[in-house]
Every structure is written in structure tokens, then in C-alpha cells.
Amino acid sequence: MNDDLNGKVTIVSGGSSGIGLATAKLFAQQGARVVILDIQEPVNGKGENLDDFPLTVLRVDLTQPAQVNFAVQHVIDHFGRIDILIHSAGGSGRKWGDGPTHECTTDGWHKTLDLNINSFFYISNAILKEMVIQNKGVIVSISSVLGLVGGDEDFATHAYAACKGAIISLTRSIASYYAPRHIRANVICPGLIATPMSDRAQHSPQIRERLKDLQPLTSDLGTPENVAQAALYLASDASSFVTGTVLTVDGGWTVR
């Protein structure tokens, strides 16, 4: 067990599946008091029982600031503080019309921004008010390699990429401004990870064939646990002198 996290009150936004759920379970195993904020209930994976993990789940639409504020205040009222925020909420806007800029619909643009960057602002806005009073706290946001590099025809969702770039910028701005208040903020940029969101890529022979070039370290998708371990480092005292960093967990995608 990582004693650094024992008893730490941790909110994981978007923690019902994928990277968020893997992170929530890992932190709970390390003794953190984990609260998942998500519009959906967590789903059991194969051969696991979520009852084995001490997780609290609050059903929240993270695109609605009033709901976010209410949930955050509920956590403060119940636990007395918030030590860590892991913001993993977000997703693709393809179903609403996200795509290359000249094809992206207005609805696709606005809904993708709501889901990805607006949700991060709403929850950071609410939680930082408490962290400023506490004079300490840790924020780890989940961005994407597409926030760092352009996507070609297989990854041309420009509203999504814009959001992920904005998450990097906002997190680094938080890191700079709140450092004197002993609040750290860092970003993780995953590559292609085997989550429900990447189902399209997982079942695309073309993208599968490209993995040896995109992610040459393994020639395969990463796992949610790969990202969760990075979040564990950035949330723990092992990174106590680290803030404003952008950590890629991408199998070599952005190093080339």
C-alpha cells in the first residue's frame, strides 16, 4: 500500500469506466477514500466484483455546473475536505458531428467542448475553492496525445483535440497560479488505450496495423492501468516537487 494516499479524499470524475475506473480502483486499493462522480454507474469487468473496492458513487452530469457544485459540497460536508481530484471525464464527439474543422457541426463542437473542457472547468472551479481554504491539494487531469500533436485522417476530431489542448493549458495555468498555495496540478496525455471510448480503433484493422508505428514501444494499445499508475505517481508524495508537467503515457507516439 502507498501510505501517501491512505485516507486521502479523492474525487475521480468520469470514474465509471476506462481510465477513470482503473484509477478509482487503484487509489481505493492504496487506502484513499474515493468518490466517483459520473452520470453512469460503474460497470463490473470480467471476473471482478466492484463491491471489493470501497468506492462511493455520485450520479452527476458533469456538464451541469449546479450538479457539480452540489456534489462537491456533498463530499466536503461528508468527508470534511478534498485532497485529490483526478479528472478523467470526457469522450468522443463523433456521434454529434465532431470531425475535421470544415466538416465539424456546430452541435458537435459545442457538445464536445461541454463534455471535455467545460466539465473540467466546472469541477476545478468548485474544488479549488476548497483547496485554497485548505492551502493544499492535488489535481491530475487526463488529456490526450491529440492535445499535443495533430491527428491525421484516422484521428481527425478537431473539437476533441481542441479540448485536450485546452485541458493542458488550463492545468498548467492552475499549476502556476496556485503553487504558492501548495496546490499541485499535472496533466497525463495517454495514447490509444483499450477503453470503451477507443472501441472504434480497437476494431479497425487499419488502425491496428498502424500501431507498430503509432505506439512502437508495444505495437499495441495501452491499458487503463498504465494510465492509473501514472496518476498514482502524480497524486502521491513521490511527485511532491512536480507541478505543471505534461506526462505522456503513449507507447512512444509523441516521442518521434
Q: What is the CATH number of the domain that holds 121?
A: 3.40.50.720
Whether 46 shows a pLDDT value over 90: the answer reads no
Residues 185 and 174 sit within 8 Å (Cβ to Cβ) = yes
Task: Evaluate whether residue 118 is within a structural domain.
Answer: yes
Task: Evaluate whether residue 125 is within a structural domain.
Answer: yes
Task: Evaluate whether residue 215 is within a structural domain.
Answer: no
Structural domain count, the chain: 1
Domain that holds residue 64: 3-195+224-249
**Tens of pLDDT, residues 149-180:** 988 888 889 999 999 999 999 999 999 999 99
Report the pLDDT value the prediction gives residue 48, as an integer from 0 to 100: 61
Task: Evaluate whether residue 254 is within a structural domain.
Answer: no
Task: Evaluate whether residue 74 is within a structural domain.
Answer: yes
Task: Evaluate whether residue 56 is within a structural domain.
Answer: yes
Element (H, E) at 106: helix 106-113
Report the pLDDT value the prediction gives residue 1, as an integer from 0 to 100: 55
Q: Tell if the pTM clears 0.85, that is, is over it.
A: yes
Question: What 3-state DSSP class applies to 190?
Answer: strand
Task: Evaluate whether residue 213 is within a structural domain.
Answer: no
What is the rounded average pLDDT for all residues in the chain? 94
Active site residue 160: yes
Q: Which residue has the cell 490526450?
A: 144
- Distance in angstroms (rounded) separating the CA atoms of residues 130 and 234: 20
Task: Evaluate whether residue 30 is within a structural domain.
Answer: yes
Residues 34 and 58 sit within 8 Å (Cβ to Cβ) = no
Q: N- to C-terminal Cα distance for the chain? A: 36
Q: Which of 160, 177, 178, 233 is catalytic?
A: 160
Whether 135 shows a pLDDT value over 70: the answer reads yes
